[in-house]
Structure 1
Amino acid sequence: MPKIAYLECARCGHHVSADTPQTLCPLDAGSLYVRYDMDELRRTASRDRVAERAAASPRSLGMWRYADVLPEVEPVSLGEGWTPMLQSKRYSGLLVKEEGANPTGTFKARGLGLAVTMAKHYGLKHLAVPSAGNAASALAAYAAAAGIKAHLYMPQDVPLANHLEGVLYGADVTLVDGLISDCARIVGETIKAQREAGTPAEDIWFDISTLKEPFRVEGKKTMGYELVEQLGWEYPDAVFYPTGGGVGLIGMWKAFEEMEALGWVSGKRPKMYALQATGCAPIATAYDAGAAASEFFQNADTVAAGLRVPKPYGDSIILDIVRNSGGSVVASTDEEILASIADWATNEGLFLSPEGAAATAAYDKLIASGELKSTDRVVLFNTGAGLKYVDTIAEAIKLRRPQLLPKSLPVGGIITPV
């Protein structure tokens, strides 16, 4: 595994040491990227080593097959990564990267797995996260595996699975009457209050929010390595990625940059498509307006809980990636998302998450418009298992279980007939 050379601010390029835990750039609060000695990596890392390491292991290494391009650290792993790439039955060029196969059922396992790994490496005792749901579930699981206390803040209407996971994994769970932005504010205020109160350093929470620490991007970048390796070390024509906070999109773009520097892939990078819901579409709105950054999206409301991020911290980075790649941002209505869930379940045997269905709905639109052809090689990410959303999807389609009366009723300890 490579040693980290330094952390680099995505805004100003300032270098920060990785010897101690870091959040944002001290100069301009930009997100920090992990950087390695690429000359050293070119001497020691290779595509062949990736395959050899995976073949030599008695078990799947998951995303850690890419240890040559990840921090030098002992993993806290639950089997994250190396998810299936499924061929669509109806579109010859379309492949679905099934991230629902990850621990806790979503792609969040990659980023939080690596972030918790580094937190354990640094000796952190308390990790806090504001989340639309799935990041909280993943943090709770990996924190439990690492012996670290997790503090989760989620909207009170979060899918039941996320709430239940947090409770079962032993996390400190707080449901907030508001959005993920409100949860983030509370986490920030709590940490500030802890510092002002003179809380011992080991008891102060570490904020592991999206793009406010450097290692969730490192975990998410493995999706970029995987999709290229699974395509024979070649780029697809396009990548469709559901975008709330956008760390996966950012991480994959970083992976492409690294692979090109290492000579692991050649050719033109794929067009990157960021997919949103019309009920919360800050990136789509900014893209359509030609803006460099997004505005806070008012009254955010969508069945795709993971897309309900009214102001992504990395909005300008996401917009740059989409534009530089020649892709675009497409938003779909909840009705289109729900219709796509039903369509893909019935015709492909895949129970998509609402976020994944935002991508399939957008794909259908672009095929219909002629922007894409069904033969174009497209990798579309289903970022989570649909089963994590059974309560919200059932409610949205007005599905109710039959109310069956019991055959007998307990009365005073005696079972009597109805």
Structure 2
Amino acid sequence: MPKIAYLESVRTHNRLSADVPQTLDPATAESLYVRYDMDELKKTATRDLPAKAAAASVTSLGMWRYACVLPDVTPVTLGEGWTPMLQSKRYPGLYIKEEGANPTGAFKARGLGLAVSMAKHYGLKHLAVPSAGNAAGALAAYAAAAGITAHLYMPKDVPFANYLEGIVYGADVHMVDGLISDCARLVGEEIKAQKAAGLPAEEVWFDISTLKEPFRVEGKKTMGYELVEQLGWTYPDAVFYPTGGGVGLIGMWKAFDEMEELGWIEKGSKRPKMYALQASGCAPIVKAYDEGKQVSEFYQHAATFAAGLRVPKPYGDQIILDILRESGGRAIGSTDEAILASILDWAKNEGLLLSPEGAAATAAYDELIASGELKPTDKVVLFNTGAGLKYTDMIAEAMHLRRPGSLPTSMPVGGIITPV
């Protein structure tokens, strides 16, 4: 595993030390990327290493098969990564990257798995996150595995599974009457108050928010390594990625940069068009892209049952928009009605119960197939970012579905299940 050479701010390229935990560039408030000595890495990090590492392990290494391009740290792992790539039964060129197979049932396990590993390495005791749901569940799980206290701030109307996760993993759970932006404000205010009160440094919460620390990107970049390896070390024509905070899209683009620099992919190879998919009820990236803007505006009155897409202003909006334009992709919004229809369509015809976020991607894909912008034979990797079963309450409500009949008022104790 390589040592980190330095942390680098995304735009001004200021360099910071990775010897101590960092959040944002203090001079510019920019997000930070982890950088390695690539000349040194080229001598040892060959693209056959992930397969060799996995073959030599008695257990699944998951995303840690890419240890040669991840920070030198002892992993706090629950088996995250190396998720299935499922070929569509109806579209010969379409592959579904099933991130619901991760621990905690969502792609968030990757970023939080690495971020918590680094937090334990630094000796941090308290981690706080504002979340639309799945990041909170993932932090709660990995913090429990690491022996770190997790402080979760979620909107009150997140899927019930996310609230349950926080409780059963023993996290400090705060349910907020508002959006993820309100949760982020409350986390910031609490940390500011702790510092003002003179709490010892080890007792002050560390904000592990999207793009406000550098290691969630490192975990999410493994999706880029995986999809390329699973396609025989070739790029697809397009990547469809449900975009709330957009860390996965940013991480994959970073992975493509690294693979080309290391020679794992030929430099100058045609990269995939990157598509950011959102819900029409909360589509700040779509609006900014369509209007040709460099950054998004706060999306007023954000509302969608795709909880992970209810992010009214992503912190990394400028990075996301740059990637979309550089790749030749774009941002597309779908209505909740189209998202629900896509959930039902893919369940009945492909045997996949998608998350609402994943169905925002399939709805957009179907739209582009119908318009002719894409052909069914175009090689596309589409991310289902979470297991649909985590959203049973949200999907059932959208379908106006209720349990048939009524539950018994008392349950029998004896019989074939338990002793008489």
What TM-score, normalized by structure 1, do the two folds share? 0.97
Aligned to 2:28: 28
Looking at structure 1, the residues matched to 324 and 192 of structure 2 have their Cα atoms a distance apart, in angstroms, of 35
Aligned to 1:176: 176
Tell me by how many angstroms 1:11 deviates: 2.1
Does 2:299 match 1:297?
A: yes
| Identity in percent | 79
1:406–1:64 Cα change, 3 Å: closer
Aligned to 2:7: 7
Deviations for 1:302-354, whole angstroms, at most 9, x for unmatched residues? 01000000000000000000000000100000000000000000000000000
Looking at structure 2, the residues matched to 343 and 403 of structure 1 have their Cα atoms a distance apart, in angstroms, of 26
In the TM superposition, what are the counterparts of 1:376-415 in structure 2 within 5 Å?
376-404=378-406, 406=408
Aligned to 2:247: 247
Looking at structure 1, the residues matched to 100 and 408 of structure 2 have their Cα atoms a distance apart, in angstroms, of 36
Looking at structure 2, the residues matched to 70 and 408 of structure 1 have their Cα atoms a distance apart, in angstroms, of 53
SS at match of 2:35: strand
1:197–1:348 Cα change, 3 Å: same
Looking at structure 2, the residues matched to 283 and 407 of structure 1 have their Cα atoms a distance apart, in angstroms, of 49
In the TM superposition, what are the counterparts of 1:17-416 in structure 2 within 5 Å?
17-266=17-266, 267-404=269-406, 406=408
What TM-score, normalized by structure 2, do the two folds share? 0.97
Looking at structure 2, the residues matched to 401 and 64 of structure 1 have their Cα atoms a distance apart, in angstroms, of 42
SS at match of 2:96: strand
SS at match of 1:47: coil
Tell me by how many angstroms 1:49 deviates: 1.5
Moved more, 340-349 or 263-272: 263-272
SS at match of 2:48: helix
1:407–1:230 Cα change, 3 Å: closer
Looking at structure 2, the residues matched to 405 and 346 of structure 1 have their Cα atoms a distance apart, in angstroms, of 27
Aligned to 2:417: none
Looking at structure 2, the residues matched to 310 and 69 of structure 1 have their Cα atoms a distance apart, in angstroms, of 33
Looking at structure 1, the residues matched to 28 and 258 of structure 2 have their Cα atoms a distance apart, in angstroms, of 25
Looking at structure 2, the residues matched to 14 and 229 of structure 1 have their Cα atoms a distance apart, in angstroms, of 32
Looking at structure 2, the residues matched to 321 and 167 of structure 1 have their Cα atoms a distance apart, in angstroms, of 37
1:407–1:194 Cα change, 3 Å: closer
1:351–1:263 Cα change, 3 Å: same
Tell me by how many angstroms 1:63 deviates: 0.1
State whether residues 152 and 173 of structure 1, in contact with CA within 8 Å, keep that contact through their aligned partners in structure 2.
Answer: yes
Looking at structure 1, the residues matched to 172 and 246 of structure 2 have their Cα atoms a distance apart, in angstroms, of 26
The aligned amino acid for 2:3 is: K
Structure 2, gaps ≥5 residues long: 413-420
Structure 1, gaps ≥5 residues long: 411-418
Looking at structure 2, the residues matched to 409 and 222 of structure 1 have their Cα atoms a distance apart, in angstroms, of 47
The aligned amino acid for 1:45 is: A
Tell me by how many angstroms 1:48 deviates: 1.4
State whether residues 11 and 28 of structure 1, in contact with CA within 8 Å, keep that contact through their aligned partners in structure 2.
Answer: no
SS at match of 1:295: coil
State whether residues 367 and 373 of structure 1, in contact with CA within 8 Å, keep that contact through their aligned partners in structure 2.
Answer: yes
Deviations for 1:261-285, whole angstroms, at most 9, x for unmatched residues? 0010122110000000000000000
SS at match of 1:239: strand
State whether residues 111 and 216 of structure 1, in contact with CA within 8 Å, keep that contact through their aligned partners in structure 2.
Answer: yes
The aligned amino acid for 1:189 is: E
Looking at structure 2, the residues matched to 275 and 282 of structure 1 have their Cα atoms a distance apart, in angstroms, of 11
Looking at structure 2, the residues matched to 404 and 360 of structure 1 have their Cα atoms a distance apart, in angstroms, of 35
The aligned amino acid for 2:301 is: N
Deviations for 1:56-84, whole angstroms, at most 9, x for unmatched residues? 11111000000000000100000000000
Tell me by how many angstroms 1:406 deviates: 3.6
